[in-house]
Structure formats: C-alpha cells, structure tokens
Amino acid sequence: MDRYAVVGNPIAHSKSPMIHQRFAQQTGQQLSYEKILVDLSAFDEEVCSFFALGGKGLNVTVPFKEDAFRYADELTPRGKQAGAINTLAIRSDGTVLGDNTDGAGLVADLLNLGWQIQGKRILLLGAGGAVRGVVGPLLAQQPQEIVIANRTVEKAEAVAASFASDVLKSSGYAELAGQFDLVINGTSASLGGEVPPLPEGLLNGNTRVYDMMYGAEPTAFLKWAAAQGVTSLSDGLGMLVEQAAEAFELWRGVRPDTAPVIQSLRAEMAKSA
C-alpha cells in the first residue's frame, strides 16, 4: 500500500491523517497516512529514510517548511516563490519534488465562501512563512491592492519587495488607512489570544475577515472583528482541508471533494469544544 505521512514537531494534534484518509475513502484510493514526530535536528535523516523505505509523499508542517525547501531536488514555481514547502513527492526517477499548497488552499476556501478576490482591496496581516506562502496565489486572482502589514515593518517590506508587483504594498500597523474589502490574519497572534494592534476605521459592514488559524472556539481575531460589526467571518479550517486536497491531487492525480470533509471536521470540533 502506498505510504504517506505528515512530519512536524509537535504533531500530535495534526488533522492531516483524518483528512487524507477521508479523501482516500471518497476517491477509492488505497493508501496509508500517518503522523511522524521528527526531532528538531533530524529532518533530513527522517525524510531520507521515509523515501528510501518506499514512502510516496509527505506533508511538512511547523517548524520544517524551510528545511523541506532546502531538501527538495526540484521546486514547483509556487513553492519557489513561497520559500517554504509543505508537500514533498517522490518521482519515478527517485528525485523529490517540493510544492507549497497553502496559498492555493486559502484561495480555494475564499472562493468556496463566495468571497471575491478580483478587484478587491486586501489587508494581509503578518510577514512570516504563512503569509509568504499565500501572496503569489492571491496576486494571481488580480486584486486591486494587497497591503502587507506587520508589527516588524521591515519584514513586510522584504516580503513585498520579493514579489515585484505594483499592486503589492507594505505597511506598519499604525500607518494603515482607508477601508478594506477583505482582511486576512496570517500572524500567529491568535495562538496567544492576542490581536494585532490595528487602528480604527479599516473595517466596514461589508468587510470580510478571515483568520488562517482555527480552533473549536472563534479566534481572538474573529471575536475582535465581530465586535466591530463584521458579519462575514471565517477561520482557517477550510484552508487546511483545501491545502490537503491540493497535495492529494499532486500525489494521486485525483481531486477529492472538500465540502463534506470540511463539514465533518467542523462538526467534530464543535463536539469536542
């Protein structure tokens, strides 16, 4: 049976095995998918032995996405642009291809929600790996403007500069002005229950607000947006399932149906809350 896994540290709470097993059942594919806890200094060794023992593909999560970028023999254009890799696949000649499916996952989830990107003014918060992975696919949807804003403004400037696009701007939080159609939180602030310190007046009743983080309860960022009167809100659970679907398609050549998987994960999370 073809073998797949997700590698990370920590990894215990990963939902990837559940998601890929559902995709496999749904599409009639025979495969196994496990989670592997990898020592912080043992990424190359672990991945090398996984493929040497016949493994077909890996998902890569925190903190190894940059290691996977270095490890891959070849990169997809979007993986190269992101500078971080979340999917590895072995090819028939034994070389390993690296891809980044996070941005495609975000775009697919936004479109599932009926949230148009084309022609919109977008605020993207954060300038770490999570944000770098989604800039290219968002730009490909032809927004009117994307402003990348970060606590450390130099990091936002560096990300914007690396894409050389006229519609991409960078900013600190305090300098932000005007209203946005779509605000995407790509910072890890919600992990600590915090919200980036944004000035007032950026949101209106039609603004849509997305947090790439997810949990059984609404994130601190979504609670903050709801308190400002925003009604179109989403966490990143759909993005998680959509990025997995992109990886599954790369490995197996079949596109799974994501909607029932998103729905059942949501139901299970609500039960465990």
User: What residues act catalytically?
Assistant: 65
CA dihedral 43, 45, 48, 50 (to 10 degrees): -80
Residues 6 or more apart from 272 whose CB is under 8 A from it?
A: 216
Residue nearest to ligand ATR (CB): 128
Fill in the amino acid letter for 68: A
In the complex, minimum distance from the CB of residue 176 to ligand ATR, in angstroms, rounded to a whole number: 13
In the complex, minimum distance from the CB of residue 213 to ligand ATR, in angstroms, rounded to a whole number: 9
> Of 31 and 135, which CB lies nearer to ligand ATR in the complex structure?
135
In the complex, minimum distance from the CB of residue 269 to ligand ATR, in angstroms, rounded to a whole number: 20
> Of 33 and 61, which CB lies nearer to ligand ATR in the complex structure?
61
State how far the Cα of 214 lies from the Cα of 201, in Å rounded to an integer: 25
Could you identify the residue written with the tokens 């890890």? Answer: 188
In the complex, minimum distance from the CB of residue 192 to ligand ATR, in angstroms, rounded to a whole number: 6
In the complex, minimum distance from the CB of residue 19 to ligand ATR, in angstroms, rounded to a whole number: 19
SS3 98: strand
> Of 76 and 170, which CB lies nearer to ligand ATR in the complex structure?
170
**Under a CB-based contact definition with an 8 Å cutoff, are residues 121 and 73 in contact?**
no
Residues 6 or more apart from 256 whose CB is under 8 A from it?
A: 22, 23, 26, 27, 245, 248, 249
CA nearest to 163, candidates 133, 203, 190, 204? 133
SS3 233: strand
> Of 131 and 222, which CB lies nearer to ligand ATR in the complex structure?
131
> Of 110 and 127, which CB lies nearer to ligand ATR in the complex structure?
127
Residues in touch with ligand ATR (CB under 6 A): 126-131, 150-152, 155, 187-189, 192, 194, 196
